[in-house]
């Protein structure tokens, strides 16, 4: 009997060669913490593998992991040749669901990986958002909000994760209209270490319309109008002086910086002597 003959028994715990196990193509997690993996490997070395992994057998006789990728990686780190596994018969859809739920329950996924996992689940299972939400035990609005995060380009997703931003930070940035504006805002948020509330207010300020400035022509007309009022006041004052018998000579000139308005009053007109 070959190495795979005994493994055809379904729902039994078997010892399966590690090099016969392929990764789950629906595994949502892409980044694994090296320190955490080493700690898991140390625990397995001390206590053994307490929980078997789950696999399904492919047509070519090899196995595809359903759940337990970290355990497989830790056993490989230890140099183990075989691993305890339960062979199950599941569809692509169920395999994707199991892989996603395993990570969600242990909170191993970042929010972008979670969104990518939900998207792959919908694609392989030909599910609507509502159907995926039901499978995962989530509200449809929650699923919709998570899928919206995939609108960010991969480079911006990576920057947010590297900066330690939360899902709420990312959802606030979703309100901005384009990637260029998001990138600029992200730089500001990271530099100032803005929390979620501060980020939401900052994004709101970016979206607020700028106050309209009056047209330059209208401003000039307003200034000219006020100047004419003052000129008219001066003209009336000159007329009053002339009616009182005071000689007044007026002139007006203009250069690049000033408007010159001059009044000349002869002293003989301003200071009159009266005989006793």
**Using 50, 70 and 90 to split pLDDT, how confident is the model at 224?**
low
Residue 69 appears among annotated catalytic residues = yes
**Using 50, 70 and 90 to split pLDDT, how confident is the model at 276?**
very low
1 occurs within a structural domain:
no
Judgement on whether residues 164 and 134 belong to the same structural domain of the protein? no
110 occurs within a structural domain:
yes
275 occurs within a structural domain:
no
Q: For the chain, how many structural domains are there in total?
A: 3
Q: What is the DSSP letter of 206?
A: H
Q: How many CA atoms lie within 13 A of 154 on its CB side?
A: 2
Judgement on whether residues 28 and 161 belong to the same structural domain of the protein? no
Judgement on whether residues 43 and 10 belong to the same structural domain of the protein? yes
State the Cα–Cα distance between residues 119 and 98, nearest whole angstrom: 14
Per-residue tokens: 209: 């319309």
Residues 69, 102, 113, 114: which is the catalytic one?
69
State the Cα–Cα distance between residues 204 and 196, nearest whole angstrom: 12
Per-residue tokens: 180: 């260029």
Q: Give the domain CATH number at 81.
A: 3.90.1530.10
For residues 232-254, give the mean pLDDT: 76
157 occurs within a structural domain:
yes
Judgement on whether residues 26 and 145 belong to the same structural domain of the protein? yes
228 occurs within a structural domain:
yes
Judgement on whether residues 139 and 12 belong to the same structural domain of the protein? yes
Structural domain harbouring 248: 216-270
Question: How many residues does the structure list for the chain?
Answer: 276
Judgement on whether residues 135 and 165 belong to the same structural domain of the protein? no
Per-residue tokens: 191: 């530099």
State the Cα–Cα distance between residues 255 and 54, nearest whole angstrom: 91
pLDDT at position 14: 87
What burial class does residue 7 get, using C-beta atoms within 10 Å of its C-beta: 0-12 exposed, 13-18 middle, 19+ buried? buried
Is 217 a residue whose pLDDT tops 70? no
Judgement on whether residues 74 and 141 belong to the same structural domain of the protein? yes
Let me know: does 171 contact 141? Beta carbons within 8 Å: no
Average pLDDT, the chain: 81
State the Cα–Cα distance between residues 196 and 202, nearest whole angstrom: 10
**What's the alpha-carbon Rg for the chain, to the nearest Å?**
40
Judgement on whether residues 236 and 142 belong to the same structural domain of the protein? no
Whether pTM exceeds 0.85: no
């Amino acid at each position: 009997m070959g190495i795979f003959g005994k493994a055809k028994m379904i729902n039994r715990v078997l010892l399966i060669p590690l090099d016969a196990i392929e990764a789950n193509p629906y595994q949502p997690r892409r980044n694994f913490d090296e320190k955490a993996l080493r700690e898991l490997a140390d625990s397995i070395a001390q206590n053994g593998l307490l929980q078997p992994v789950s696999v399904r057998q492919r047509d070519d006789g090899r196995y595809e992991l359903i759940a337990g990728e970290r355990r497989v990686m830790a056993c490989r780190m230890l140099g183990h040749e075989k691993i305890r596994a339960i062979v199950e018969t599941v569809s692509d859809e169920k395999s994707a669901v199991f892989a996603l739920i395993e990570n969600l329950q242990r909170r191993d996924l970042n929010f972008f990986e979670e969104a990518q996992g939900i998207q792959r689940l919908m694609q392989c299972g030909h599910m609507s958002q509502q159907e995926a939400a039901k499978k995962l035990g989530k509200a449809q609005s929650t699923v919709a909000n998570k899928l919206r995060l995939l609108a960010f380009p991969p480079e911006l997703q990576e920057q947010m994760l590297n900066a330690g931003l939360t899902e709420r930070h990312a959802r606030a940035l979703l309100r901005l209209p384009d990637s260029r504006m998001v990138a600029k805002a992200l730089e500001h948020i990271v530099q100032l270490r803005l929390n979620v509330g501060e980020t939401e207010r900052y994004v709101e300020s970016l979206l607020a319309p700028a106050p309209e400035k009056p047209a330059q022509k209208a401003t000039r007309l307003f200034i000219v109008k006020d100047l004419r009022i003052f000129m008219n006041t001066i003209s009336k004052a000159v007329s009053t002086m002339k009616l009182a018998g005071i000689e007044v000579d007026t002139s007006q000139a203009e250069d690049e910086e000033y408007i010159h308005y001059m009044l000349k009053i002869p002293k003989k007109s301003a200071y009159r002597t009266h005989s006793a």
